[in-house]
Chains A and B, each alone.
Chain A
């Protein structure tokens, strides 16, 4: 069993519980022990970097210092948390005078090796392992993969080798037996936290994504970001109404489909948390849960 650090972030305790449950289950199947960063705090998210640079850096530095004391790397499922932690590390490397003495004394924020969960779970070694473990091939699913913004950009901060065209989850899903469509909107923006204060902007961006996904012949969308999942799943009926056409595109976390393909018995429980229920699609594909 290999041990890695794990920074869940606030959303995974609520809105993205399905992501948390499925990734923990999948880690168990793959024999990866997730060691939660003890007493982690919020990354500050959009509010932090928008309104208070100093707070954003200190919130990040505390998490990094706590994470550095545990096993490495530290996997982060939420793309925004990942981006905020990497940004804090990047900016503090240039100027750490933003830190309060109390936070600076917590430990070495430089030493944490922060990795986005989808990159970790699509490493060649894990993919090879997954290939031997598939029990229910995802035949009949025609996904497009939607990575979103924050895991990739800017590459000088994230270190992502393919920031305009990531392919990790595409490769994973192909191994799981899905018929993955390539599309040029993998890293487009869904509007993120605007879903609360400017839902009109999110409807515009997400509406476009639906249309493009359907044009590619996709019957579902797969993501590794809990903001993307929320924005594409929660308001689908309403945004479809605005488009004046029917849209049925279940939005999976890649960990949910990984768990399903590896035969995990709890997959139905995770998927029942979605507002756009994938049950009809899965039943039609012979993958009823």
Chain B
């Protein structure tokens, strides 16, 4: 998905997204009156391309493409400060998750490839064992992200060694005994590339 800027001429406000586009989820997005408490309390605005209140506003205007191509949902750490302080209970972290899930299920390209990769590998761990084996997760992440080869390789190797010798890396995975139920809980993908 190509990044898209929102120009005034492209703005054709539509409430359709809030009415029907969210497929039954709501997040109280329509209740926002623009006080920007979410944005003032957000610890990660310095790394965002859309500020939290802009995410809500674009949703109200039905600008779905601008939201889906933004980095902000992937930069959000889900610290829940915005939701906690919002006078209208707008569930912005929940909506950020909704956007990420939609991109993931469509198999779309995202700007924050590493964050998506980490989450995806994490879920694969859960699907396989019912628990996360951190050693395997980090090793697979480093191989797939290039962190095992690039300039970060030495740093990662040193950290890995320091943790290993302090007993903070487990060598044998633990798993859930009964795992049959696991298969059914993950959502089906749409058209994964």
Smallest CB gap from B134: residue in A: A14
A275 to B160 CA separation, bound complex (whole angstroms): 11
- B185 to chain A: which residues have CB within 8 Å? 54-55, 58-59, 100, 103
Determine whether the beta carbon of B170 is less than 8 Å from that of A14: yes
Number of residues from B at the complex interface, CB < 8 A: 58
Q: Does A41 contact B (CB under 8 A)?
A: yes
CB of B187 within 8 A of CB of A50, answer no
B109-149: which have CB < 8 Å to A?
A: 112, 114-115, 117-120, 122-123, 125-126, 130-135, 138, 141, 145
- Complexed CA–CA distance, A53 and B97 (Å): 8
Of the candidate stretches A197-205, A210-218, A244-252, A254-262, the one touching chain B is A197-205
The verdict on A51 contacting B119 (CB below 8 Å), with A189-B81, A197-B112 known, is yes
Is A131 interfacial (CB-CB < 8 Å)? no
A109-117, A133-141, A149-157, A166-174 - the one binding chain B: A149-157
18 new A-B contacts, CB < 8 A, other than A15-B134, A15-B168, are A10-B132, A42-B125, A42-B126, A42-B131, A50-B78, A51-B123, A52-B101, A53-B101, A54-B186, A55-B123, A55-B187, A154-B83, A155-B84, A191-B44, A193-B118, A197-B115, A198-B47, A238-B155
Question: Could you jot down 22 A-B contacts, CB within 8 Å?
Answer: A10-B131, A10-B133, A13-B174, A41-B130, A41-B131, A42-B125, A42-B126, A46-B78, A47-B120, A50-B119, A55-B185, A59-B185, A103-B185, A149-B78, A154-B84, A192-B79, A197-B112, A198-B112, A201-B75, A235-B159, A274-B166, A275-B162
Interface on B for A, CB 8 Å cutoff?
43-44, 46-47, 75, 77-81, 83-84, 89, 97-98, 100-101, 104, 112, 114-115, 117-120, 122-123, 125-126, 130-135, 138, 141, 145, 155, 159, 162-163, 166-170, 174, 176-178, 180-182, 184-187
- Chain A interfacial positions (CB closer than 8 Å to B): 10-11, 13-18, 39-42, 44-55, 58-59, 62, 100, 102-103, 106, 149-150, 152-156, 163-164, 188-189, 191-194, 196-198, 200-201, 204-205, 234-235, 238, 272-275
